[in-house]
């Protein structure tokens, strides 16, 4: 169905960013405006999701040039779900940032950048054009790069260099891949590519191109052995930036991987095998890294890698059942990881450190906050019936179905080590008595804040925790949503047909 | 029924809300929760014992076949009544035992959550919901063991218990899904019908292996048993409830539940006999080397769990019946012993059996409970323990060729347990009362009534076993659906079993008289400590931790260039292999058009600057050289009539150079990091990658292509888009969105440059 309103999430974020640029330097107004606009953005996300959920896939051709000649925007269930999740994360982070970021950083355009970043994500989720996807990736990279560097601290810059260098490398591979695809098919429209790639005889070249995409998206989604940028950079920026990164940046790589490998490069068995092996080692590397480190930001960073491995395992199995698992996990992970980085920011705000050896005594001093923080922590572990649990059912059953037993073993190992790491964090940070809390903080301590200031920090955590609880207890809704998405992904005929149906241009 | 299960969770969740204003009311109100459910289960009793299991079903995640299907049959009822019955006593007991505690409200929260989870576990007919509750018991156990969280050893024990049971749980999950996958259903009752199908399936050994690991870790079987003694760090009511009467029996429950589905094969029976046998002997012997009352109880509990696994392994009708009765017997006497240990600890401040004695002078009812429980544990006639022991011996005595060995090992275990039971239940109360404990006094009735009540049941059921007939029949039928009609009796006739029974009592009493618990005895075990599973497990843990360090350090080594190299190697190998594997390489130079002089010039410019970038020693030099390459690209765009593109490239390139400069200035001065060898390696790698991409580009260039899109652009650029330059039209119309977004990229980059220039939160300044 044709509906040009589906680009609204993108446009709205663009307008928001511009509005915020106009109020440059006026932090008070920016805070309020950003939160307000994010709330409206969330509303738009909900609207789009419901629209697609009730009326099916919607398409618009930019400039009214028929596909595959112009740039197509497509909102299918997968895309609109991702848009909604990004809006939720954006909304929470906007509030959290208003409470936690230092004035200096806010003065230099944090809020417009946040909205530019969200715009990039929304664009990536809604575009139906492979080169346009690349362009959205550029927006994401550049805005996240600037977000990392705002403040210009030495550690930040060091992390930023690695971040941007490796991500640009990924972009180059992506671009080369696009060039090859264009050379082979003469098209950039993903639906069109899907049909044309199937018709090409020279499968060898397509397969090589697919490996370029694998590496490009593999870097973005931080898969073994390509994940280096993530541990190097995620713990350096302030918590609000970490939250949006942890929640969404790697996931957009997973999204792109799932999208291209189900639509364009479907049925490549060798690729699935490589992905499975990479997934297993990703799980291992992430879990080991999380075990090794004692800085909360680094621990959570490595856990992101570990859980990216879960999602990749689903992609590697490439059965509909496994993709259900991947999609479910994606939904869970975006919410919970955003929340975790905010939690780690909150812990820093309260105690002045993020080193678990120094931290302690939170359960005694802040019992209710501790219980609140337990929700994302144990959701992440996947203590049933919390949100991290359900996807594993699909991964294990999917692994049995495709007889990839080693992946099941690694998923169990990864889950176990996650459990272990989080239990250790709980024991060290919440149970143990504080060892060596700094007397002076670099910023303002939590207890020095006004009660509004406190609530601004706590509310987004509560908000996301409630969503996590909903994903866990109302798992049926998310499972049926994921099943619908997986079924659409594995049978892309209707996607392709909807995009390409409108061949002639109306004057 | 769902309300019965969920109410515990609801009450647990309400604790944080209540605690601000009604914190003192919680211990007074919450004990009525298990009591209420116990009464409710009691109302179901008559229907269930008439062999008519009750069902309740609630949809949860039907898309994966996960539903809350509760099924109350004999086995579930037995466990349900233990959970809520002993639960009631423990809830009341704790309200006095932990009266002084600051965080008693939390304690009740965890305890309610545990009770609900345990209840859900035994009621679930659905494999996945069973697992959900299974994990919830582990996690509530974690919180309860670590309840005294100031104590490092408490925390360590909690982590260890969670580590072992959590690991087992995940393995179990795989096993359960596998059963469902092979058997085509997640309902246990439906799986009974496909029992033969599963047993003959090739995955059967894997399935039972995974299931066993789950059950053994939870029920503390050798070599996973060591978390249980550690778990005794929890307050005594918790040990009574979780780590003796209910949670640790979850593994037993699981095995019993799956006996009709998976049992009856050699691999099933012999694994259980072996593991159960080792556990019961090992732990029973160990209990004699302990002097702390709770440690003795911990090991005797492990041993009792071993006996249960062993009996399920023997698997004959007698054995299953014995297991059913022993679950009840053990829960009654062991809970009593734990509760009186708690009282002793509470009143005297010590649990060292060596320094205790004569307490019957000051706390008669407690002593009475201790005596009765110890006698039941020993299996003296007129106690429930006697009846279960008789049937146990009966079952092993008639077990094929191995009867003698099996019977001997269970007799030996029973002898050891006799002593352990006497040490806890009798020794502290008899003999002389030491001076320092003379002030010990009779505790509150809330403390002593629960053990006396339980001990009374040991006698009641022992004297009139007939009242259990109907109940045990249904329990038995849950494990053995076509089982015979049973009848429990005190007198089984004069036979070998009776002789063995008397022999056990005689030997046990002799050993009790001869062997005194002492520290030196404990010391004798020390040399073997390094072979103990706990030591091995800790060493594995340490090795694994250091492995984690080296693995992480190896890959995440801090050098950007290593990261780039790893990625390039990965891509080169992957793409190279696929190229080699699937593409016929033939290059046809004739298709390529001639090179114009200007193109040649630009290429020379590019190549020169690349080499300059490689050779130069300064960062600025490198950046400038790279900038030139970017500008040279602009020239290419100009030649191919794309001035807009050239402009964009020009601005982006300039900005990037600026950004890089700013960031790089913050970094330490450039030094030469690489040796000659490394440079050669890097050079070779770059060359390989470059060649690979070039070959690919040429191959792609030669491959036949669709021209639909480009022809459309050429035809319609003027007619429909009203533009003469096709490239321009593509940029601003056909693909105008790309251009728009790239403009945004420029804006963002400009913001970055601005903030880098202006804002400098130097690490040495305060933020």
CB B674: neighbour CB atoms within 10 A? 11
Pairwise CA distance, residues B242 & B38, whole Å: 17
Give CA–CA dist B97/B659, Å, rounded: 67
CB distance B716 to B726 below 8 Å: no
- Express each pLDDT in B421-443 by its tens digit: 888 888 888 888 887 777 777 88
DSSP A355: B
* Interchain contact, B736 vs A62, CB within 8 Å: yes
- In sequence order, the 6+-apart residues with CB closer than 8 A to the CB of B604 are none
Omega before A14 within 30 of 0, i.e. cis: no
The verdict on B719 touching A (C-beta cutoff 8 Å) is no
What is the rounded distance in angstroms from the CA atom of residue B511 to the CA atom of residue B517? 11
How confident is the model at residue B761, as a pLDDT? Answer: 57
CATH of domain B559-703: 1.20.120
- Choose among B152, B581, B708: nearest Cβ to A186: B708
Rounded Cα gap, residues B209 and B275, in angstroms: 12
B561 at interface of A, judged by CB pairs closer than 8 A: no
Q: Which of A378, A379, A362 is nearest to A423 (CA)?
A: A378
| Of B130, B619, B705, B71, nearest in space to A188 by CA | B705
Q: So where are chain B's domains? A: 1-250, 264-524, 559-703, 708-767
The continuous run of DSSP H or E covering B58 comes out as strand B54-61
The full DSSP string for A18-39 is: HHHHHTTT-HHHHHHHHHHHHH
- Strand A72-75 relative to strand A58-61, pairing: antiparallel
Give yes or no for a contact between A81 and A49, defined as CB atoms under 8 angstroms apart: yes
Q: How many domains does chain A have?
A: 1
**How confident is the model over A435-483, as pLDDT tens digits?**
777 766 666 777 777 888 888 889 999 999 999 999 999 889 999 999 9
**Quick one: pLDDT at residue B766?**
41
pLDDT at A504 over 60: no
Helix (H) or strand (E) holding B130: helix B127-145
Query: CA neighbours within 13 Å on the CB side: how many for B176?
Result: 28
Amino acid A384: pLDDT: 86
Q: Determine which of A89-103, A200-214, B602-616, B749-763 has the lowest per-residue pLDDT on average.
A: B749-763
* Secondary structure element (H or E) that encloses residue B66, with its range: strand B66-72
- State whether A288 and B547 contact (CB < 8 Å): yes
CB of A70 closer than 8 Å to CB of B735? yes
Q: Give the DSSP per-residue string, A123-184.
A: HHHHB-BHHHHHHHHHHHHHHHHHHHHTT--HHHHHHHHHHHHHHHHHHHHHHHHHHHHHHH
461-500 in chain B: CB under 8 A from chain A: none
Amino acid A37: pLDDT: 94
Residue A507 lies in a domain: no
User: Would an 8 Å CB–CB cutoff place B621 in contact with chain A?
Assistant: no
Inspect the interface and report whether the beta carbons of A108 and B547 lie closer than 8 Å: no
**What confidence score (pLDDT) does residue B671 get?**
64
Helix (H) or strand (E) holding B612: helix B597-615
Distance CA B278, CA B313 (A): 12
pLDDT above 80 (res B276): yes
Whether B158 contacts B142, CB under 8 Å: yes
Q: Among B288, B290, B309, B137, which residue's Cα sits nearest to residue B222?
A: B309
Burial of B562-572, coded b for 16+ CB within 10 Å and e otherwise, reads ebbbebbebbb
pLDDT of residue B765 exceeding 80, the answer is no
User: Taking residues B371-396, what's their average pLDDT?
Assistant: 87
Question: At B763, is the pLDDT very low, low, confident or very high (cuts 50, 70, 90)?
Answer: very low
* Measured distance CA(A459)–CA(A29) in Å, rounded: 20
Strand partners, A355: A295
Residue found under tokens 């590519």: A193
Q: Is residue A146 part of a domain?
A: yes
What is the DSSP code (8-state) at residue A357?
Answer: T
Q: What is the DSSP letter of A111?
A: H
What stretches of B444-596 show up as alpha helix (H) in DSSP? 445-463, 469-479, 496-514, 519-524, 533-555, 560-582
For chain A, say whether B707 makes contact (Cβ under 8 Å): yes
Domain limits at A273?
A: 4-500
Beta bridge partners of A189: A129
pLDDT surpassing 50 at residue B8: yes
Q: Which residue has the higher pLDDT, B588 or A34?
A: A34
What Å distances lie between residue B647 and B170, B639, B733, B746, CA to CA?
58, 13, 17, 12
Coil, strand or helix at A491: coil
Q: What's the gap in Å between the CA of A447 and the closest CA on chain B?
A: 18
- How many CB atoms are closer than 10 A to CB B662? 17
Cβ-contact B723, B733 below 8 angstroms? yes
Q: Tokens 């859900």 map to which residue?
A: B120
Which residues in chain B have Cβ-Cβ distances shorter than 8 Å to A151? 759, 761, 767
Using a 10 angstrom Cβ sphere, with 0-12 exposed, 13-18 middle and 19 or more buried, the burial of residue A117 is buried
Rounded to an integer, what distance in angstroms lies between the CA atom of residue A270 and that of residue A84?
33
Query: Is B735 touching A (CB cutoff 8 A)?
Result: yes
What are φ and ψ of residue A268, in 5° steps?
-90, 105
pLDDT in tens, B356-376: 877 888 888 888 888 899 989
Which residues on chain A are in Cβ contact (under 8 Å) with B181?
Answer: 397, 400-401
Answer whether B101 touches A (CB < 8 Å). Answer: no
Residue tagged 């909807």 (tokens): A498
pLDDT above 80 (res A178): yes
Q: Distance, in angstroms, between A385 CA and closest chain B CA?
A: 6
* ipTM value: 0.91
Among A102, A162, A476, select the one facing B61 at the smallest CB separation.
Answer: A476
Question: Is residue A506 a part of any domain in this protein?
Answer: no
Residue B531 CB neighbours (<10 A): 8
Nearest to B343 by CA among B425, B271, B261, B459: B425
Residue A411 C-alpha, separation from nearest chain B C-alpha, in angstroms? 9
Condensed to tens digits (0 to 9), the pLDDT of residues A34-89 reads 999 999 999 999 999 999 999 989 999 888 888 788 899 999 999 999 999 999 99
Q: What are B699-711's pLDDT values in tens digits?
A: 888 777 777 888 8
Mapping DSSP to helix (H, G, I), strand (E, B) and coil, where does residue A503 land? coil
Task: Determine the pLDDT at residue A442.
Answer: 63
Q: Which residue of A has its CA nearest to B692?
A: A208
Within 10 Å of residue A40's Cβ, how many Cβ atoms? 14
Q: What is the mean pLDDT of chain B?
A: 85
Q: Between B574, B700, B749, which is nearest A215 by CB?
A: B574
Interface test with chain A among B556, B664, B733, by most A beta carbons within 10 Å: B556
């Amino acid at each position: 169905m044709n509906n040009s309103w589906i680009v609204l999430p993108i446009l709205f974020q663009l307008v928001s960013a511009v509005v915020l640029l106009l109020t440059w330097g006026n932090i008070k107004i920016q805070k309020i405006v950003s939160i307000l606009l994010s709330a409206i953005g969330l509303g738009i996300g909900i609207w789009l999701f419901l629209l697609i959920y009730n009326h099916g896939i919607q398409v618009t051709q930019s400039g009214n040039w028929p596909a595959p000649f112009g740039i197509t925007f497509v909102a299918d269930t997968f895309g609109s779900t991702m848009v909604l999740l990004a809006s939720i994360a954006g909304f929470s982070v906007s509030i959290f940032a208003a409470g936690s970021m230092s004035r200096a950083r806010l003065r230099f355009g944090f809020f417009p950048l946040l909205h530019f970043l969200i715009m990039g994500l929304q664009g990536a989720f809604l575009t139906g054009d492979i080169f346009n996807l690349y362009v959205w990736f550029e927006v994401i990279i550049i805005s996240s790069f600037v977000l990392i560097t705002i403040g210009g601290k030495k550690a930040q810059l060091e992390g930023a260099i690695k971040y941007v260098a490796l991500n640009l490398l990924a972009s180059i591979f992506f671009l080369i891949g696009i060039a090859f695809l264009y050379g082979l098919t003469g098209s950039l429209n993903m639906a069109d590519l899907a049909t044309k790639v199937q018709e090409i005889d020279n499968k060898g070249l397509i397969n090589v191109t697919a490996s370029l995409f694998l590496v490009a998206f593999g870097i973005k989604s931080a898969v073994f052995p390509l994940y280096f940028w993530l541990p190097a950079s995620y713990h350096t920026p302030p918590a609000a930036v970490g939250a949006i990164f942890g929640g969404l940046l790697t996931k957009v790589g997973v999204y792109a991987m799932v999208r291209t490998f189900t639509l364009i490069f479907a049925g490549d068995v060798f690729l699935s095998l490589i992905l499975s092996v990479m997934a297993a080692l990703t799980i291992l590397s992430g879990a080991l890294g999380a075990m090794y480190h004692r800085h909360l930001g680094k621990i959570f960073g490595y856990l992101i890698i570990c859980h990216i491995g879960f999602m990749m395992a689903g992609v590697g199995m490439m059965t509909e059942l496994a993709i259900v698992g991947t999609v479910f996990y994606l939904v869970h992970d975006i919410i919970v990881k955003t929340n975790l980085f905010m939690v780690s920011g909150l812990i820093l705000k309260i105690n002045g450190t993020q080193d678990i050896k120094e931290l302690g005594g939170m359960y005694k001093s802040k019992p209710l906050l501790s219980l609140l923080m337990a929700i994302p922590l144990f959701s992440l572990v996947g203590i049933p019936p919390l949100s991290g649990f359900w996807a594993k059912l699909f991964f294990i059953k999917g692994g049995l179905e495709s007889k990839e037993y080693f992946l099941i073993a690694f998923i169990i190992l990864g889950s176990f080590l996650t459990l272990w790491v989080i239990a250790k964090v709980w024991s060290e940070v919440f149970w143990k008595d504080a060892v060596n809390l700094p007397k002076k903080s670099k910023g303002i301590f939590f207890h020095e804040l006004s009660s509004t200031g406190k609530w601004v920090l706590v509310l987004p955590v509560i908000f996301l925790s409630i969503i996590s609880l909903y994903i866990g207890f109302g798992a049926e809704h998310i499972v049926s949503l994921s099943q619908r998405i997986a079924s659409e992904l594995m049978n892309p005929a209707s996607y392709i047909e909807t995009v390409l149906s409108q061949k002639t241009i109306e004057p | 029924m769902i309300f019965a299960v969920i109410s515990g969770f609801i009450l647990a969740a309400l604790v944080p809300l209540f605690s601000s204003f009604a914190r003192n009311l919680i211990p007074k109100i919450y004990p009525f929760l298990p009591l209420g459910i116990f009464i409710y289960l009691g109302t179901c009793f008559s229907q269930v014992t008439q062999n008519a299991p009750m069902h309740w079903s609630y949809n949860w995640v039907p898309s994966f076949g996960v539903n809350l299907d509760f099924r109350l049959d004999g086995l579930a009822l037995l466990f349900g009544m233990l959970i809520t019955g002993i639960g009631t006593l423990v809830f009341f007991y704790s309200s006095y035992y932990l009266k002084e505690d600051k965080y008693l409200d939390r304690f009740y929260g965890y305890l309610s959550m545990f009770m609900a989870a345990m209840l859900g576990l035994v009621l679930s007919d659905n494999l996945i919901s069973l697992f959900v509750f299974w994990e919830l018991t582990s996690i509530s156990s974690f919180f309860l063991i670590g309840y005294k969280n100031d104590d490092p050893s408490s925390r360590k024990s909690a982590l260890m218990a969670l580590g072992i049971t959590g690991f087992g749980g995940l393995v179990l999950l795989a096993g359960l899904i596998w059963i469902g996958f092979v058997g085509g259903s997640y309902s246990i009752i439906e799986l009974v019908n496909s029992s033969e199908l599963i047993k003959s399936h090739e995955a059967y050994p894997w399935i039972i292996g995974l299931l066993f690991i789950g059950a053994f870790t939870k029920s503390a079987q050798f070599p996973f048993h060591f978390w249980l003694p550690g778990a005794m760090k929890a307050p005594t009511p918790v040990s009574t409830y979780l780590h003796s009467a209910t949670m640790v029996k979850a593994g037993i429950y699981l095995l019993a539940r799956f006996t009709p589905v998976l049992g009856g094969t050699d691999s099933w029976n012999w694994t259980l006999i072996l593991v159960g046998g080792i556990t019961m002997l090992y732990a029973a012997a160990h209990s004699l080397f302990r002097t702390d009352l709770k440690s003795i109880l911990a090991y005797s509990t492990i041993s009792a769990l071993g006996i249960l696994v062993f009996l399920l392994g023997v698997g004959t009708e007698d054995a299953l019946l014995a297991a059913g009765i022993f679950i009840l017997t053990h829960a009654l006497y062991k809970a009593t012993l734990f509760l009186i240990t708690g009282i002793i600890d509470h009143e005297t401040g010590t649990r060292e059996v060596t320094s205790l004695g004569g307490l019957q002078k000051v706390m008669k009812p407690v002593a009475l409970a201790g005596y009765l429980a110890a006698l039941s544990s020993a299996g003296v006639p007129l106690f429930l323990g006697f009846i279960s022991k008789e049937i146990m011996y009966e079952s092993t005595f008639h077990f094929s060729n191995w009867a003698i060995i099996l019977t001997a090992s269970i007799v030996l275990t029973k002898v050891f347990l006799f002593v352990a039971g006497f040490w806890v239940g009798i020794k502290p109360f008899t003999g002389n009362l030491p001076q320092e404990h003379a002030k010990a006094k009779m505790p509150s009735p809330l403390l002593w009534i629960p053990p006396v009540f339980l001990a009374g049941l040991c006698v009641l059921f022992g004297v009139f076993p007939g009242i259990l007939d109907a109940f045990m029949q249904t329990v038995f039928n849950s494990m053995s659906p076509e089982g015979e009609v049973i009848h429990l009796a005190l007198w089984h006739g004069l036979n070998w079993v009776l002789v063995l029974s008397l022999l056990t009592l005689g030997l046990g009493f002799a050993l009790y008289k001869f062997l005194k618990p002492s520290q030196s005895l404990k010391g004798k075990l020390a040399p073997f400590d390094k072979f103990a599973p706990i030591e091995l497990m800790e060493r594995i843990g340490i090795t694994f931790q250091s492995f984690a360090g080296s693995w992480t350090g190896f890959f995440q080594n801090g050098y950007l260039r290593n990261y780039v190299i790893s990625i390039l190697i990965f891509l080169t190998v992957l793409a190279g292999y696929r190229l080699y594997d699937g593409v016929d390489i033939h290059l046809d130079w004739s298709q390529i058009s001639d090179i114009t002089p200007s193109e040649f010039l630009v290429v020379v410019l590019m190549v020169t600057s690349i080499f300059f970038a490689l050779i130069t020693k300064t960062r600025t030099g490198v950046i400038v050289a790279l900038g030139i390459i970017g500008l040279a690209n602009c020239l290419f765009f100009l030649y191919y009539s794309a001035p807009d593109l050239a402009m964009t490239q020009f601005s982006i390139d300039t900005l990037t150079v600026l950004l890089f400069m700013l960031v790089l200035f913050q970094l330490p001065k450039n030094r030469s990091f690489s040796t000659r060898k490394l440079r050669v390696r890097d050079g070779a790698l770059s060359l390989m990658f470059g060649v690979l991409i070039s070959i690919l580009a040429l191959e792609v260039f030669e491959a036949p292509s669709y021209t639909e899109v480009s022809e459309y652009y050429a035809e319609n650029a003027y007619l429909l888009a009203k533009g003469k330059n096709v490239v321009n039209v593509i940029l601003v119309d056909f693909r105008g969105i790309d251009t728009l977004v790239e403009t945004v990229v420029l804006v963002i980059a400009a913001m970055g440059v601005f903030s880098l220039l202006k804002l400098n939160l130097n690490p040495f300044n305060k933020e």
